[in-house]
Amino acid sequence: MRVFCASVATECNTFSPLRADFTDFAQSFYAPPGAHPETPTLCSAVFPALRRREAAGEIELIEGTATWAEPGGIVNAPTWDRLREEVLAQLRAALPVEAVVLGLHGAMIAENCVDCEGVLIESMREVVGPDVTIGVSFDPHSHLSAKRTDNADIVTVFKEFPHTDFVETGEACVDLTLRAARGEIAPAMAVFDVRLMDILPTSRDPMRGFVDRMQALEASGAALSVSVIHGFMAGDSPDLGAKLIVITDNDPAAADRLARDLGMELFSFRGAARPDFLTAREALQRAAAAPEGPVVIADVWDNPGGGVPGDSTILLREAMALGLTDAAFGTIWDPMAVRLCHAAGEGARLALRFGGKTSSVAGDPVDAEVLVKRVQKDAVQSFGTSVVPLGDCAVIEVQGIEVVLNSNRAQAFSPDLFSNLGIDTAARKILVVKSTNHFHGAFAPIAAEILYAAVDGPYPNDPRKNAYTRLTRPLWPIVDNPHELEAQ
């Protein structure tokens, strides 16, 4: 069996001051055919999974491009056109194939295309025809259009937020796609529109129990796959919001019933799933008063993983105003400040302006005398088995607080963000990370407590106030009873 795979992925915050071009993909991750590393990236776990199948003699694998850009603003037209045509040309050259497997994110929006993934899957269907099996894996923070599900036979989505199961999701996509291509199963897919846009972390109930039930349904054979699209509130998409996907083996009626039942259960969680959000001052004061550390504070809305710059200074300024010293911040994105610190060298003291460069709502730049404690080129952090580049980095000390400055935007995933740069996390009372929940899996084992600080900034965090221009369906919390409204 000949199988083609490719991965083109990013997450686009259409309200972000950032813009994305090919440089963003090349800087984050770009692997031409055959050059994908042994370790997966967040959206390319299908590659190593398929390689194992080829090594076992099951398939002949034809690899296309695999690329990922750190979440940012909309993608410019030339970049989207280039990447789309690149993988389509690779697919045409690979024909004939019996299956296509794609590792996508699901929230890419270009200036000339609102539904990038839908267009790509539809175009691939046109190339291969109706009889080839197409399988796709998505991130849950995405937009599920009919164009995607009409043209794909298999759709799997990370169940966990934080996305600690991205490898398992890629493997499930590969397994179901190959089984369908061999005729062992006849996938019947149903989608239920939950009409909900909320924050749904699975590290806590009610979502923890919901994910456990999804997995139990798959284990029992009641469904081949159960997935939830959470939606991505920072993307102005007509398909915004949560959706429930069920795939059964040749039982469309059962898939419909289960998708609706689970979807309405998910809708019942509205407003109750997100953690308690504190103000910056509340979070810092509570952390400082804790009997032991480290207390991890998430700066949830200045999360580069949500497409914002990650250079907000608001929490740092609050910590400085409170006179806190036993703290480390990771990270503040500022390539210019990093360059100056590298030029000054370790041990140097200099007057430095850093942070607050890209948005009028993310705090003013900090102007202070700093101590350069560490400089490092090509720094990295880990996210499970994946390696995340941070670019050139510098660790500075300002008023007793250590701050990691990075040149490649990336949210905080792991404590090795700090330890790789010489910061002992166990010796710090407070660790501040820019992430909504992806940090949780790796930081929870070392944290005495985890707090969430909701600091308004460039991330559009309230669907009721976001200036959506493409949304026409009723969603909670924009309307209280979207299902009743739709039924009228």
pLDDT digits (tens, 9 = 90+) for 288-304: 999 999 999 999 999 99
Quote the pLDDT of residue 488. 61
Cross-strand partners of 394: 375, 405
Cβ atoms of 100 and 46 within 8 Å: the answer is no
| DSSP H helical ranges for 221-301 | 252-267, 280-289
The CA distances from residue 442 to 39, 194, 414, 416, 448, in Å, are 18, 30, 5, 9, 13
Copy the structure tokens of residue 263: 């979807």
Contact status, residue 103 vs residue 137, Cβ threshold 8 Å: yes
Q: Is 81 helix (H, G, I), strand (E, B) or coil?
A: helix
Structure tokens at 356: 């607050």
Q: How far apart are CA 350 and CA 369, in angstroms?
A: 5
β 2-9/29-31 pair status: unpaired
Q: Which residues of the chain have pLDDT under 70?
A: 486-488
Q: Return the pLDDT at 118.
A: 98
Q: Are strands 133-138 and 154-157 parallel, antiparallel or unpaired?
A: parallel
Q: Would you kindly state where each structural domain of the chain is located, as residue ranges?
A: 2-267, 277-453
Q: How far is CA 232 from CA 31, 151, 415, in A?
A: 26, 22, 26
First-last CA distance in the chain: 49
Q: How far apart are CA 431 and CA 117, in angstroms?
A: 37
Sequence-distant (≥ 6) Cβ neighbours of residue 134 within 8 angstroms:
99, 100, 101, 102, 121, 124, 125, 128, 151, 152, 153, 154, 177
| The pair of three-digit structure tokens given for residue 275, joined into one six-digit string | 């953690």
Q: Please report the pLDDT score of residue 340 as a whole number.
A: 98
- Does residue 40 contact residue 170 with C-beta atoms inside 8 Å? yes
Q: Amino acid identity, residue 136?
A: V
SS3 at position 451: strand
What is the rounded CA–CA span in Å between residue 173 and residue 231?
Answer: 20
Q: What is the pTM of this model?
A: 0.94
CA distance 241 to 234: 11
Half-sphere exposure of 237 (CA within 13 A, CB side): 31
Q: How many CA atoms lie within 13 A of 248 on its CB side?
A: 15
Q: What is the pLDDT of residue 458?
A: 77
Positive or negative torsion for Cα 254, 153, 162, 116 = negative
Contacts with 57 (C-beta within 8 Å, 6 or more apart), sequence order = none
In sequence order, the β-bridge partners of residue 6 are 102
Evaluated on CA atoms 38, 43, 49, 55, the torsion sign reads negative
Q: Give 26-45 as a DSSP string.
A: HHHEEE-TT---SS--TT-T
E strand or H helix that includes residue 91? helix 77-94
CB 98 within 8 A of CB 132: yes
Q: What pLDDT score was predicted for residue 370?
A: 98
Distances (CA, A) of 455 to 108, 118, 436: 25, 34, 12
Q: Could you tell me which of 43, 69, 1, 260 has the C-alpha nearest to residue 173?
A: 43
Q: State residue 216 phi and psi, 5-degree precision.
A: -65, -35
Q: Is 4 within 8 Å of 90 (Cβ atoms)?
A: yes
Q: Order the strands of the 225-229 sheet from edge to edge.
A: 187-193, 243-249, 225-229
Instruction: Tell me which H or E stretch contains 372.
Output: strand 366-383
**What pLDDT sits at residue 385?**
87
- The pLDDT score that the predictor gives to residue 181 is 98
